[in-house]
């Protein structure tokens, strides 16, 4: 096994960016699948949301927002851009970064699962609010207010349960990697 500490800082940085891009790509590729065990009422885990939470937990509000914006734009491209998924993921990134997890919540899987649960509900609610706004401002909009919120209950609950259960799968390796990087870079500062 190579020792990361011996590497040139730039190589390490490049590897870090490769890991980031790779994990995002992995999330994007899992999104359209509905594997057995990852599906409740045709709803799968919201992998991009899990990624944004894992990213923002130990980062600044600005970094969380940027990650949410980028992933939201990608998800817009993969489904439909109107209303935007970017808004909900930006809010999730900002809120997660604001949580100050290190200070208030103990570091473990349970707390990550809890955060993801809450954020999934928040994200779906923001989507539902956007759809409601559309249906209120535009009379010919195809979704009705009642059906939006009925569907929201189902989606928010399924998404929250599945995302929080699957969150550690993504969070654990990413967190391990970033912690290792930090340990190596800390003494040099």
Partner 1 sequence: MYALRRWWDRNGIRLGLIALALGSAWVVRETQGAAVYEIYRFLTRPFVGSPVEPAEPAPDPRVRELEQRLVELESQNRQLQELLGYVQDRPSQGVVAPVIGRSADHWWQQVILGRGSHDGIQVGAIVSGDGGIVGRVTHVTSNTSRVLLISDPTSQVGVTISRSRNMGYIRGQAANRVIMEFFDKVPDVRPGDVVATSSYSRLFPPGLPVGTVESVNLNKSPAPEAVIALSAPISHLEWVIVTPNPKADAALLPSQSANAALPLDEATTDSATGDAP
User: Residue 96, by phi and psi: left (phi above 0), alpha (psi -120 to 50) or beta?
Assistant: alpha
Instruction: Report CA Rg, the chain.
Output: 18
Among 132, 159, 164, 175, binds partner 1 (CB under 8 A): 159
The least distance separating partner 1 from the CB of residue 25, rounded to whole angstroms, comes to 8
Per-residue contact flags (x/-) with partner 1 for residues 2 to 41, judged by CB under 8 A: ---------------x-------x--xx-xxxx-------
Taking the complex as a whole, how short is the minimal distance between the CB of residue 89 and partner 1, in angstroms?
Answer: 11
DSSP 8-state assignment for residue 5 = G
Task: Report residue 146 as tokens.
Answer: 């009642």
Q: List the beta bridge partners of residue 40.
A: 43
180 binds partner 1 (CB under 8 A): no
Applying CB under 8 A, does 188 fall inside the site for partner 1? no
Report the C-alpha gap between 80 and 96 in whole angstroms: 25
x/- map, 125-154, partner 1, by CB under 8 A:
--x---x------x-x-xxx--x---x---
**Can you tell me which of 52, 54, 71, 90 binds partner 1, judged by CB under 8 A?**
71
How far, in Å, CA of 100 to CA of 62, rounded? 14
Nearer to partner 1, 1 or 35 (CB): 35
**Whole-number Cα distances in Å, 118 to 77, 159, 174, 179:** 25, 10, 20, 24
How many chain residues interact with partner 1 (CB under 8 A)? 40
**Torsions phi, psi of 60, nearest 5?**
-80, 165
Q: Which residues bind partner 1 (CB under 8 A)?
A: 17, 25, 28-29, 31-34, 42-44, 46, 66, 69-71, 73-82, 85, 124, 127, 131, 138, 140, 142-144, 147, 151, 155, 158-159
């Amino acid at each position: 096994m190579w020792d990361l500490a011996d590497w040139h800082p730039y190589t390490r940085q490049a590897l870090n960016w490769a890991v980031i891009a790779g994990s995002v790509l992995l999330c994007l590729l899992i999104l359209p699948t509905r594997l057995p065990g990852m599906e409740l009422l045709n709803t799968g885990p919201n992998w991009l949301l899990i990624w944004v939470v894992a990213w923002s937990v130990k980062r600044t509000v600005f970094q969380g927002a940027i990650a949410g914006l980028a992933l939201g734009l990608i998800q817009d491209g993969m489904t439909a851009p109107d209303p935007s998924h970017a808004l909900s993921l930006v809010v999730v990134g900002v809120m997660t970064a604001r949580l100050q997890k290190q200070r208030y919540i103990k570091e473990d899987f349970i707390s990550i699962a809890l955060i993801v649960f809450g954020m999934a509900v928040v994200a779906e609610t923001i989507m539902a609010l956007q759809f409601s706004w559309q249906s209120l401002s535009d009379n010919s909009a195809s979704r009705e207010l009642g059906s939006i919120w009925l569907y929201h209950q189902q989606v928010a609950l399924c998404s929250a349960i599945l995302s929080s259960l699957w969150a550690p799968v993504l969070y654990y390796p990413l967190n391990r990697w970033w912690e290792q990087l930090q340990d190596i870079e800390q003494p040099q500062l």
